[in-house]
Structure 1
């Protein structure tokens, strides 16, 4: 009997048997279950299985961490043994939503929208970091690299163009993902998003100056003046517009005969949503988005130390509950308003979880757990914390506590230094690439805190635990 076959059998038993499985699928590293009753899961038995690196429940799903390259083989064996039938991620999402309350459903909706576009945003952040290294003065020399070596200027310019694309056309990315999530046509979502950043519109980043000069262009619709502005870098306008587009499209699709749907549904849907976006949705959500951004900036400006301590410490708890996804929209809005001070604390929190897991490699005696601690620490240092948090730190509790104490201290420090990131990047050791270079010294001190302090604290807590 193969290892994968035996592991699949044991996993099914540990999650309560095949009769407790409503639907199941897998992602790159994890099995994802929608269970009828999560209380039937035997976590101790589950996590004693050799191939299992951890497990956790989130957003109505029970997830079992297996690892890349192996999870699909275990899933295939499980399907053959149970006869449950292969499920898509959408099937599991729908099956698991019955376990969620309204707040959890709202958080899950945001997660479903932003997670698919994260690779593009993170890649843009990394490339912008490389561009800033080339163009920023005072990093390696008094002048920037491109000033000292002009032959590098065009290379930096091309890198900057590639990097900026995801942010310049951010509404297009969100439109695709949001309309898809709301059940409409993703292609129409892309068109809607690009429509909101059309070159004929006043660029949103130039709105403030144009307003001060009294030069904001307008459309005149039979006496109704509508500001002719774009929504570059804005999140709320495209989210609300995407929901409206999906609702209208689904409404028309049910009522228009199949033979003329192509001639009626897309044009009417885009026309109605487009007018609504420029007349009502855009102006209202643009105001609300700026109000939210200004409010967050004012709050952290007046209570920088407290804000850094609380957000830095609580971020890992937000990850546990899944609520961290709600801050993606805020981070993107802040990044496009001059820099985000929230994202640097996220990066430090991830590193802290990695350091605590790494300490456990030296504390634990079991070879499997030592290996898991090392691999999950490396993963956390590169921005993926689930294996470290759910596979190691939360299992033993005191490493998790050591990590959040450390990230709270680091968050307090970098907030008092005014550290900002110009974009979202890799939330781990490479995170410094997304930090404005003038804040590198302070951020590196913050990194030193979350590398050393969680490691030492975890060791101290382990010694205290043995003496009890």
Structure 2
């Protein structure tokens, strides 16, 4: 399959590079946001080699290629557009209901990091093969049977946890980019939130002593945000807006120095002082709420309900056996 040729034909059929405002892909589809959708020649694209279907959805023209192929085509399209498509126009972002725009925002943030999450999840599955008790022999794990594989299992376990341990870094990069800020500053903010000098988030609430910073009479908990989503999402938005504002009011000869400094300094303080603890609590409440729905509402909450069989009632209707 000639990926450069397919990409060139796609760019031409959607009205050229100047008509593209955003280029990305998910697991199977190439997602294009165009400034003028009337210029899209969907019939021509549908006939291209490897294309399994085309459709418009929520302001995006989506081309179905399938897993693997879509990555290659997307890379070639990005080469033709310089790797940095122009930013979407405000009009395109304003289309649809509030809920649709919110879902699209989350999609744009999380779709690029799905491969990292998939890799981590599959590696966890491989690690479970090594460490699951009774999977091959009753009462024993595979590494107990073959100790020579213990170090291999340990390495795989480390690889599998990396994406989840440093999840705020991935989300910080992707979300800050989506909100119009410097994605590398977003990644730095995520790194701050999972810095090894902080108390690990998984140890928080277990009874272990919580370290604190004492600043100007305030006691701030020095706790990390490993595996969290809400704190870094909110702070990425705040970072992007602060950075954009600073670019507008800072003299050009100072901008490259002071804007990153002030952005990270302010956002770091705000994260640990207010937004982080509040969002951590909100995330915990959300998790408790979902757990309550699942365990309390039966099939409405998604949990199958099995009838409780009472022996006294069963015996009442069971056929009676009589001896002659």
Please name the residue that 2:56 is paired with. Answer: 57
Please name the residue that 2:284 is paired with. Answer: 290
After TM superposition, the structure 1 = structure 2 runs for residues 117-196 of structure 1, keeping only pairs within 5 Å, are 117-142=113-138, 143-196=140-193
Q: Deviations over 1:213-232 (max 9, x none)?
A: 6x322222222222221111
Q: Distance in 1 between matches of 2:141 and 2:290?
A: 33
Structure 1 position 35, deviation (Å): 6.6
Structure 1 position 30, deviation (Å): 3.5
Give the counterpart of 2:112 among 116, 119, 123.
116
Q: Distance in 2 between matches of 1:103 and 1:113?
A: 15
Aligned length: 289
Give the counterpart of 1:277 among 251, 271, 279.
271
Q: Secondary structure at the match of 1:299?
A: helix
TM-score (norm 2): 0.76
Q: Distance in 2 between matches of 1:240 and 1:73?
A: 30
After TM superposition, the structure 1 = structure 2 runs for residues 65-80 of structure 1, keeping only pairs within 5 Å, are 65-66=64-65, 68=69
TM-score (norm 1): 0.54
CA RMSD of aligned residues (A): 3.5
Q: Deviations over 1:309-357 (max 9, x none)?
A: xxxxxxxxxxxxxxxxxxxxxxxxxxxxxxxxxxxxxxxxxxxxxxxxx
Q: Secondary structure at the match of 2:206?
A: helix
Q: Deviations over 1:380-437 (max 9, x none)?
A: xxxxxxxxxxxxxxxxxxxxxxxxxxxxxxxx66x97xxxxxxxxxxxxxxxxxxxxx
Higher helix proportion, which one?
A: 1
Q: Distance in 1 between matches of 2:261 and 2:76?
A: 46
Q: Distance in 1 between matches of 2:97 and 2:82?
A: 23
Q: Secondary structure at the match of 1:62?
A: strand
Please name the residue that 1:32 is paired with. Answer: 32
Q: Judge conservation of contact 1:59–1:96 (CA < 8 Å) in 2.
A: no
Q: 1:22 to 1:191 in 2, by over 3 A?
A: closer
Q: Judge conservation of contact 2:21–2:85 (CA < 8 Å) in 1.
A: no
Please name the residue that 2:251 is paired with. Answer: 257
Structure 1 position 175, deviation (Å): 0.9
Q: Judge conservation of contact 1:56–1:62 (CA < 8 Å) in 2.
A: yes
Q: 1:88 to 1:263 in 2, by over 3 A?
A: closer
Please name the residue that 1:366 is paired with. Answer: none
Q: Secondary structure at the match of 2:254?
A: helix
Q: 1:131 to 1:260 in 2, by over 3 A?
A: same
| Greater relative contact order, per chain length (Cα 8 Å cut-off, separation 6+) | 1
Unaligned ranges ≥5, structure 1: 77-84, 309-411, 417-468
Q: 1:300 to 1:275 in 2, by over 3 A?
A: same
Q: Distance in 2 between matches of 1:304 and 1:186?
A: 43
Q: Judge conservation of contact 2:31–2:60 (CA < 8 Å) in 1.
A: no
Please name the residue that 1:433 is paired with. Answer: none
Q: 1:306 to 1:250 in 2, by over 3 A?
A: same
Flag the structure with larger Rg. 2
Structure 1 position 62, deviation (Å): 2.1
Please name the residue that 1:217 is paired with. Answer: 211
Q: 1:99 to 1:37 in 2, by over 3 A?
A: farther
Q: Secondary structure at the match of 2:205?
A: helix
Q: 1:90 to 1:304 in 2, by over 3 A?
A: farther
Q: Distance in 2 between matches of 1:257 and 1:182?
A: 23
Structure 1 position 304, deviation (Å): 4.3
Q: Distance in 2 between matches of 1:263 and 1:255?
A: 13
Q: Deviations over 1:117-165 (max 9, x none)?
A: 1111110111111011101101111210011111111110011111111
Please name the residue that 1:104 is paired with. Answer: 100
Q: Judge conservation of contact 1:54–1:64 (CA < 8 Å) in 2.
A: yes
Please name the residue that 1:242 is paired with. Answer: 236
